[in-house]
A and B are shown apart, each in its own frame.
Chain A
Amino acid sequence: MASAPAAPPSPAPVPAPRSSRGRSTLYRGTEGMWSWVLHRITGVGLFLFLLVHVLDTAMVRVSPEVYNDVIGTYKTPIMGVMEAGLVAAVIFHAFNGIRIILVDFLAKGPRYQRVMFWVVIGLTVVLMAGFLPRHLGNVFGGGH
């Protein structure tokens, strides 16, 4: 009749799933992924600010007093710091967009995408180094 049930298979060593940490894929956790993540986050942030910015500028149609009151909130220290973040987001998004175009259209673009990400970061830092002293001087210093 039926033979004795086969012994349960001995726990064969199952290979551990690939760790999500570490460089287990070409993409995850590397420059390409962070470029994509930052592009999305800065993009959504800039779009939301754009809606607010068109609305606050529309106050020029109400009266000079109302517009000056609203734009006055942009000159406070807290808003001044947020503007610096906004400008940094604009610069990163702009240069990273150029990087995306080069990756798409240049034959050697994909090969240099990682280097180009660091060029984008470098350009952002350099332009911010030029902008920050001027802007923070206007916000915190005299300039009134």
Chain B
Amino acid sequence: MTKLDATDLPAPRARRTTALRGGANTELIAWLFMRISGVILLVLVFGHLFVNLMVGDGVHAIDFAFVGGKWSEPFWQVWDLLMLWLAMIHGTNGVRTIINDYAERTGTRLVLKSLLYLAFVVTVVMGTLVIFTFDPCPPGSPADLLPSFCAA
């Protein structure tokens, strides 16, 4: 029997050289991401709500022409794209945390997280495509439904 020498034990407060699982500490990255993206989302979402619901006629002014007008400017394309990606990652990670908290069976967690990640991929891909393949002046549509610049 080998004698365990006290010097074989790591010092009590020694920094662990490897994370518990995986190489990088993904939970630390997720924790940090929630805080950084949260602050950015506060600005993006408050701006989104202010421009769409407070200015002018608010929700009554939202129609195809309104969206077409906004997305003809790269500024709002980038704004909405950033908002889409950050909000989807932030929200998906939040729901992932909740699933980990409440779904106790491994199978249940697997099913719920699979559905969650599927919803993430579908929504992000669809939203991104919509922002960049959008035609504000689709041919054959009544002119009164389109942004005014389509007539020019």
Contact = CB atoms under 8 A, between A and B. Distances in A.
B58 A74 contact: no
A47 B57 CA distance: 26
Nearest to B140: A63
Interface stretch (A8-16, A19-27, A52-60): A52-60
Contacts of B112: none
B71 to A, nearest CB: 8
A95 to B, nearest CB: 8
B36 to A, nearest CB: 9
A143 B57 contact: yes
The number of chain B residues touching the other chain, given as a range, is 35 or more
Interface residues of A, number: 38
Interface stretch (B6-14, B103-111, B122-130): B122-130
A138 B57 contact: yes
Interface in A88-144: 90, 94, 97-98, 100-101, 104, 131, 134-135, 138-139, 143-144
Main secondary structure of the interface of B (DSSP, over half): helix
A32 interface: no
Given A90-B49, A135-B58, A67 B130 contact: no
Interface of B: 35, 38-39, 41-42, 45-46, 49, 53-54, 57-60, 62-65, 67-68, 84, 87-88, 91-92, 94-95, 98, 119, 123, 126-127, 129-130, 133-134, 138, 141-142, 145-146
7 contacts: A80-B59, A83-B59, A101-B35, A131-B53, A138-B60, A139-B59, A144-B60
